[in-house]
Amino acid sequence: MATQERKAVVAVTDGGGRGSVIVEAYLKSPHVEKVLVFPGNDMMAEERSDRVALFPGIKTSDVDQIIALSKENGVTHIDICQDNAVQAGVSDAAFLHGIKVIGPTSVAGRIEWDKEYARRLGDTAEIPQPDWVAFSTIREAEGWLDKMPERKMFVKATGLAEGKGSIRASNKQEALDAIKRLKKEHPMASERFLIEKALVGEESSTFAVSDGTNFIVVGSAQDHKHEKDGDKGDMTGGMGAVSNPLLMRDVVLQEGTESNISKMLAAKREEGNPYRGWIFHGGMAIPIGNDRLKQFLLEWNARLGDPEAQVILPGLNIDLLELGDAIVDGDISGLDIRNDGKVRVVVAVASRGYPRSYKAVRNKEVKSLPELRRLDGINIYGAGIKMEESKHYIAGGRLFYIMTEEIDVLEAREKLSVVLEIVEGMDGENVRFRTDIGWRDVERLRQKSLQ
């Protein structure tokens, strides 16, 4: 239990919407006095600057600065929630300085920052995953592609590439173009690259938490990465998500996901690098005949997902600090983490032009936010917003997230659409958002009503 005499001061390494919901969750804990955020965003501190300290300009991978500032400010706990913070070893350094760490060590988190390693681990642990090969040079890949000319595939950087390290290809030429693009845009991350067989199925994101031995699955969601309705256009960091999706009510998929997580954790223990912290299982449900599905592993993330965190965390009955202390103490088995089972839908309101250039709207005022703040029954999570004298200005790609929660996806979307009308009316010329988040579940419910 976290009930120490002294109240906790928690540091969080994030600046986006996921960071906003994590900060909010820590602020709800009676054990937490203050939250520091590296780098944070202005809306995190809006109306609560006494309890939230922002450190703009500090990179989430800047181990030395994060540790120095944490020590200077009496940080007791640090939550490592960004992929590059995991890789850089913020966790390892914080541990050496006596700060309690919520998040894996760098070697434990390698399941995310080295995708070739993760695939090897998956093969050894017999986790169902796509067929894959790894190369360093275009020439090596060319020889292999000559023998596999017309195969649908993904070309992936093995390292971290800000979510842009995976490109779809349908033939040799497209694959070679993808490799060239990755090597140009993300040279470090794609020193080695994977070519994976494309799986055809439906994706899901599941969160679990582990103390290295035990694990608890806390919820699932589906995110929407394309920029436009109907899953069209370019990929983004995520335009919205829906929690408790109907797909993941399938017991076989739940068991498959748990089995994958259990195998990964056992493999990490065997390796001598037990995994402690949040786990993100990116799954792909593949039809295998007779209406049956099988869960494949697409990817691991060594952290919570964005924007999935915005729909999963608010539905959990946990005190985030008590959970953090249980992870640090190495025993989460006594925790009773429950998911309220509601459906939450979150939509990202992004700058017009995102995911490409949004220079034309940078620094424009977002006028709808004060109005939205006054509405009951919705949650707003800030991201790329700069605040000056209580006004909100465009400073990034994804600006803020609106989340509604209801008993089913239809009601949650209904509520959301009223709110989005306000955004469109007041800021439509400067922002964009999707209107069909959760469409798969809407379609499933429609099909069911026709039966």
Cα end-to-end span (Å), the chain:
50
Q: Identify which of residues 223 and 325 has a Cβ nearer to ligand GLY in the complex.
A: 223
**C-alpha distance from residue 392 to each of 313, 371, 381, 389 (Å):** 25, 12, 13, 9
Strand partners, 196: 132, 154
- Tell me the CB-side half-sphere exposure of residue 126, using CA atoms within 13 A: 1
Run of H or E residues at 46: none
Q: Minimum Å distance from CB 305 to ligand GLY?
A: 3
**What's the min distance (Å) between Cβ of 299 and ligand GLY?**
8
Q: Which chain residues interact with ligand GLY by CB under 6 A? A: 163, 223, 238, 301, 305-306, 308
Minimum CB distance to ligand GLY smaller for 306 or for 319: 306
Which is nearer to ligand GLY, 78 or 81 (by Cβ)? 81
Cβ nearer to ligand GLY, comparing 301 with 351 = 301
Token digits for 118?
A: 């993760």
Q: Closest CB to ligand GLY among 211 and 308? A: 308
Give least dist CB 303 to ligand GLY, A.
8
Give kind and range of the element (H or E) at residue 385: strand 385-388
Distance of CA 224 to the CA centre of its chain: 12
Indicate the DSSP class of residue 168: E
Break the chain down into helix, strand, coil percent, rounded to 5. Answer: 35, 30, 35
Residue whose beta carbon is closest to ligand GLY: 305
Looking at beta carbons only, is 14 or 427 nearer to ligand GLY? Answer: 14
Least separation in angstroms between residue 424's CB and ligand GLY is: 25
Phi/psi at 27 (5° precision)? -65, -25
Task: Name the minimum Å distance from CB 439 to ligand GLY.
Answer: 17
Smallest gap from Cβ 387 to ligand GLY, in A, equals 25
Q: Measured between alpha carbons, how far is 441 from 406 in angstroms, rounded to an integer?
A: 14
CB 163 → ligand GLY: shortest distance, Å? 6
Q: Which is nearer to ligand GLY, 29 or 204 (CB)?
A: 204
Q: What are the residues facing 399 on neighbouring strands?
A: none
- What number of CA atoms fall less than 13 Å from residue 141's CA on the CB side? 28
- Of 227 and 308, the one with the shorter C-beta distance to ligand GLY is 308
CB of 244 to ligand GLY, least distance (A): 16
Cα distances (Å, whole numbers) of residue 298 to 103, 132, 156, 202: 21, 11, 12, 11
The tokens of 48 are what?
A: 């609560």
Rounded distance, CA 399 to CA 28, Å?
Answer: 24
